[in-house]
Amino acid sequence: GSLTGLPIIETQAGDVTAFVPTNVISITDGQIFLETDLFNAGIRPAMNAGISVSRVGGAAQTDIIKKLGGGIRLALAQYRELAAFAQFASDLDDATRKQLERGVRVTEVMKQKQYAPMSVAEMALTIYAVNNGYMDKADRKKVVDLEAALQAFAKSAYKEALDAINAEPVLKKHEETLKKICDDFAATGTY
């Protein structure tokens, strides 16, 4: 048999160092750190991707999401670090500015709407698009609208392809399809 435990721990002022020596880390399969600042900024779920960990996560994900999602986690963690630094720096080089802009877009598409679950294919399409720069030129305030337009386009023009991704979610089989959907959508001029 197995035992499921869901400990909930409150840190003082977000100080996770006090949490480390407890026995909780050893009895759980991972930790999700939620932050009040992220919640107040409208980011839901308000999870800190930089310090949240999972020992099971990769095994529980489909191949396509696991492979596409690695870049998202890294982009979010780097963005949060750079955003804190950028508040104090007036002169940012182009690479840093681009990384910050990508982080804004990743954050926007990762905001989860209540009662709006997405299929594996829809998640894969969004992650592929943001990872590969298809949303980089969009106005940061219109990223969510752009994502919705991309999803609507894919559902109308590529329904069979989305069904195939849902049936067999393997990145190697569908990466070209995701690229084609994004390229064809970009050609519509909706960006």
Closest CA to 35 of 56, 62, 13, 57: 13
pLDDT 10s digits, 38-77: 889 888 888 887 777 766 666 668 999 989 988 887 888 7
Mean of all residue pLDDT scores within the chain = 86
Tens digit of pLDDT for each residue in 91-141?
788 888 888 888 899 989 988 788 889 999 999 999 999 999 999 989 989
Percent of the chain at pLDDT > 70 equals 90
Contacts 24+ apart (CB under 8 A), 27-35: 29/54, 29/55, 29/56, 30/54, 30/55, 30/56, 30/57
Question: What does residue 114 show for φ and ψ, rounded to 5 degrees?
Answer: -70, 135
Burial profile 147-167: b = 16 or more Cβ within 10 angstroms, e = fewer: bebbbebbeeebeebbeebee
Which two three-digit tokens encode residue 68?
């596409």
Looking at the predicted structure, is the pLDDT value of residue 164 above 90?
yes
- Domains of the chain in sequence order: 9-60 (no CATH), 62-187 (1.20.150.20)
Per-residue confidence (pLDDT) for residue 1, from 0 to 100: 63
Element (H, E) at 30: strand 30-31
Unique residue bearing structure tokens 């894969």 = 124
Tens digits of residue pLDDT in 20-33: 656 676 777 777 88
Active site residue 80: no
Question: Which pLDDT score is estimated for 92?
Answer: 82
Q: Exposed, middle or buried, 56 (CB in 10 Å: 0-12/13-18/19+)?
A: exposed
Tell me which of 55, 73, 97, 105 is the catalytic residue: 55
